Amino acid sequence: MERRLPDRKPKYVYRKIRRNKRRDPAVYWYSEPPGMKREFIPYPFMSEEFIRFAEGRNKQSGELTKPLVEGTFHHLADVFRGNDKRGIKPSKQWKELKPRSKKDYSKYIDRILGLWGHFLVRDLEPEMVVALRDSLQDRMRVANYMINVLSAMLWVAKEHGTTFRITDNVATHIARFGKRSGVEARQVYWTYGDETNFLADADLADPIIALGERLLAYSGQRPGDVRAMRVSDYDGEKIQVIQSKTGAKVWVKCHKDLKPYLERNIAEAREKGLDNPTLIRGVRGEPMGERYFADRWDEIAKRTDTFHLNRQDLRRTAVIRLAEAECTVPQIAAITGHSLKQVETILETYFVRTYEMGSAAITKLEDHQDRLKQAKS
So what's the pLDDT on residue 119?
Answer: 93
Q: Which pLDDT tens digit goes with each residue over 179-208?
A: 666 666 667 889 999 999 999 999 999 999
Kind plus residue range of the DSSP H or E element containing 228: none
Question: Has this prediction a pTM greater than 0.75?
Answer: no
Statement: residue 2 has pLDDT above 50: no
Mean pLDDT over 239-256 rounds to: 87
Statement: residue 20 has pLDDT above 80: no
Cα 217 from Cα 151, distance rounded (Å) = 35
So what's the pLDDT on residue 351?
Answer: 62
**Please, are residues 68 and 74 in contact by the beta-carbon 8 Å criterion?**
yes
Strand pairing class (39-40; 238-242) = unpaired
Q: Which pLDDT tens digit goes with each residue over 315-340?
A: 888 888 888 888 888 888 888 777 77
Crossing angle for the helix pair 329-336 and 340-350, to the nearest 10 degrees: 90
Q: Which pLDDT tens digit goes with each residue over 103-133?
A: 899 999 999 998 999 899 999 999 999 999 9
Statement: residue 46 has pLDDT above 90: no
So what's the pLDDT on residue 308?
Answer: 92
Cα 374 from Cα 377, distance rounded (Å) = 5
Mean pLDDT over the full length of the chain: 87
Identify the structural domains of the chain with CATH numbers, from first to last.
Answer: 1-66 (no CATH), 67-184 (1.10.150), 189-307 (1.10.443.10), 315-377 (no CATH)
Please name which of 341, 80, 195 lies closest in space to residue 72, comparing C-alpha atoms: 80
